[in-house]
């Protein structure tokens, strides 16, 4: 086994020196907080990113650019908790007989099949991704996309309707599946209380999404960077100037040979 060197002065070395059980959390936190190199999907947009108001960020992702970001250990554990609940809900829907999907997860092979079953691709808009579930109401005979979200108590109590970025996210799913409504399931991760909302397909909103992405593609293909929209959470952007390893939008340059037309994928 390769010997690992613990940097002097690091939080891990200090905790270990104290010879307390805190070394275990520190070790895991160091692992979770490593800088992450994010490689995006060249030639495609993903539904979960469409609610972001920054066209420049979507352009970088569309070009498959590499960006770096750091996620705090606690935040990463929160993300992982949401991922686990997502799989739990797929199991609930499957076992209750409301899901139209044949697979929900469980074994690695089943998760692979479930992922393939939920995959959508809209070539005209350069969108591809994966929805949570498709459900069927046995009484009304209606179908709906099911979108599962988790949040803390404070955010959940303030919720009065589906969040706007979530509404934008589900429109490609509805368009691709020919389903005209989404049921949002918002779960309070602190106590598992639930709020559900129904959102109908909005043709005008979908058209605006198509126009926005077409404009980004046109600018990228003409080697121009779309407008950057500053945000309060800029520090979370993998392409932000102050994040390690990336010079930011101001130093943007196109390189010859970048392939952003992966239409045959």
Mind listing the pLDDT tens digit for each residue in 98-132?
999 999 988 899 999 999 999 999 999 999 999 99
Q: What is the pLDDT of residue 139?
A: 94
Which residues does residue 68 pair with via DSSP β-bridges, in sequence order? Answer: 37
Pick 225 or 111 by higher pLDDT.
111
Pick 25 or 60 by higher pLDDT.
60
The number of helices, as runs of H, and strands, as runs of E, in the chain is 8, 8
In three-state form (DSSP H/G/I as H, E/B as E, the rest C), the secondary structure along 68-128 is EECCCHHHHHHHHHHHHHHHHHHHHHHHCCCECCCCCCCCHHHHHHHHHHCEEEEHHHCEE
Predicted confidence (pLDDT) at residue 246 exceeds the cutoff of 80: no
Weakest mean pLDDT among 6-15, 82-91, 138-147 = 6-15
In this prediction, residue 38 has a pLDDT band, given cuts at 50, 70 and 90, of: low
Other CB atoms within 10 Å distance of the CB of residue 83: 11
Pick 255 or 99 by higher pLDDT.
99
Predicted confidence (pLDDT) at residue 259 exceeds the cutoff of 90: no
Weakest mean pLDDT among 153-157, 203-207, 235-239 = 235-239
pTM above 0.75, yes or no: yes
Q: What is the pLDDT of residue 124?
A: 97
Cα 249 from Cα 242, distance rounded (Å): 11
Mind listing the pLDDT tens digit for each residue in 43-100?
999 999 999 999 988 998 898 877 666 677 787 788 788 788 989 999 999 999 999 9
Predicted confidence (pLDDT) at residue 150 exceeds the cutoff of 60: yes
Cα 91 from Cα 93, distance rounded (Å): 5
Gyration radius of the chain over CA positions? 21
Q: What is the pLDDT of residue 265?
A: 36
Average of per-residue pLDDT values in the chain: 84
Picking from 255, 264, 262, the residue whose alpha carbon sits closest to that of residue 66 is 255
Q: Exposed (0-12), middle (13-18) or buried (19+): which is 113, by Cβ within 10 Å?
A: middle
Mean pLDDT value of segment 238-262:
55
Predicted confidence (pLDDT) at residue 260 exceeds the cutoff of 50: no
Weakest mean pLDDT among 103-112, 143-152, 223-232, 241-250 = 241-250
Predicted confidence (pLDDT) at residue 261 exceeds the cutoff of 60: no
Which residues in the chain belong to E strands, given as ranges? 36-39, 66-69, 119-122, 127-130, 133-136, 143-151, 181-188, 194-200
Picking from 152, 178, 142, 150, the residue whose alpha carbon sits closest to that of residue 166 is 150
């Amino acid at each position: 086994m390769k010997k690992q060197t613990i940097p002097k002065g690091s939080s891990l070395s200090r905790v270990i020196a104290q010879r307390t059980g805190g070394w275990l959390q520190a070790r895991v936190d160091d692992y979770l907080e490593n800088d992450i190199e994010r490689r995006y999907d060249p030639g495609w947009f993903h539904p979960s990113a469409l609610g972001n108001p920054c066209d420049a960020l979507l352009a970088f992702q569309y070009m498959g650019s590499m960006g770096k970001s750091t996620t705090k250990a606690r935040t990463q554990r929160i993300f992982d908790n949401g991922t686990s609940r997502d799989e739990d809900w797929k199991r609930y829907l499957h076992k209750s007989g409301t899901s139209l999907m044949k697979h929900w997860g469980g074994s690695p092979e089943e998760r692979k099949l479930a992922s393939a079953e939920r995959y959508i691709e809209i070539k005209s808009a350069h969108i591809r991704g994966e929805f949570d579930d498709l459900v069927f109401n046995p009484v009304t005979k209606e179908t709906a996309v099911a979108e599962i979200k988790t949040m803390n108590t404070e955010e959940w109590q303030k919720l009065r309707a589906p969040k706007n970025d979530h509404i934008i996210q589900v429109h490609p799913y509805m368009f691709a599946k020919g389903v005209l409504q989404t049921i949002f399931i918002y779960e309070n991760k602190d106590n598992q209380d639930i709020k559900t909302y129904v959102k109908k397909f909005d043709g005008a909103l979908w058209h605006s999404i198509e126009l926005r992405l077409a404009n980004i593609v046109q600018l990228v293909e003409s080697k121009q960077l779309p407008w950057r929209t500053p945000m309060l959470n800029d520090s979370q952007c993998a392409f932000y100037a102050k994040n390690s390893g990336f010079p930011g939008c101001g130093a943007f340059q196109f390189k010859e040979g970048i392939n952003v037309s992966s239409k045959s994928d």
